[in-house]
Amino acid sequence: MPKLTRRSLLSGAASLVVLAPQLSLAQTAPAIHVLKDPNCGCCEAWVRILQAEGFAVTTEMSFGTLLMRHKLDNGIPQDMISCHTGEIDGYFIEGHVPPADIRRLLSERPDAVGLAVPGMPYGSPGMGPEESREAYDVFLIHRDGSTEVFASYEAAA
């Protein structure tokens, strides 16, 4: 049986001090699972943006009708559909939703299906430079299928 010495105790404590912030970060990083078409570059760009913002992202390839069925079966109205769908902490994230809006959703925790940016607005995260952004809205999808504007982004000047 190894002998516990003052040196080994101090060494262990020092290791914990160094690792503690990294362990804390790993536990608090929001985990999001993204279903996407394997050939979609804008989906991959959105995933990279989420990763850069500290989200722990896993992806799953899904095609055409299967992906569409998944969206509709989980309460995303047809007029809110975009190219990829994320699942995070009981919510669905449809399309190019900015990371700040996802964090706000998780902070406020409304009784809702999730958020959507319908279509693929130019300049939304993963869809080209923000400096050239067209105006778009992020919608909160209620459980009854109705929606309301959750955040608005003006066109870049």
Q: List the strands of the sheet with 147-153, edge to edge.
A: 56-61, 31-36, 85-88, 91-95, 112-117, 136-142, 147-153
CA-CA-CA-CA torsion for 76, 78, 83, 88, nearest 10 degrees?
0
* pLDDT for residue 3: 60
- CA–CA dist 28, 37 (Å, integer): 28
Q: What is the pLDDT of residues 95-132, one digit of tens each?
A: 999 999 999 999 999 999 999 999 999 999 999 998 99
Rounded CA gap, 13 and 151, in Å?
Answer: 45
Model-level pTM? Answer: 0.80
Give the type of residue at 77.
P
Q: Where are the alpha helices (DSSP H) in the chain?
A: 6-28, 41-52, 64-73, 99-108
- pLDDT of res. 55: 97
CA 63/CA 135 separation, integer angstroms: 29
Q: Which residues contact 119 (CB under 8 A, 6 or more apart)?
A: 82, 95
Q: What is the pLDDT of residue 140?
A: 98
Note the CATH number of domain 29-153: 3.40.30
Q: Give pLDDT, residue 6.
A: 56
Length of the chain: 157
Model pLDDT, residue 87 = 97
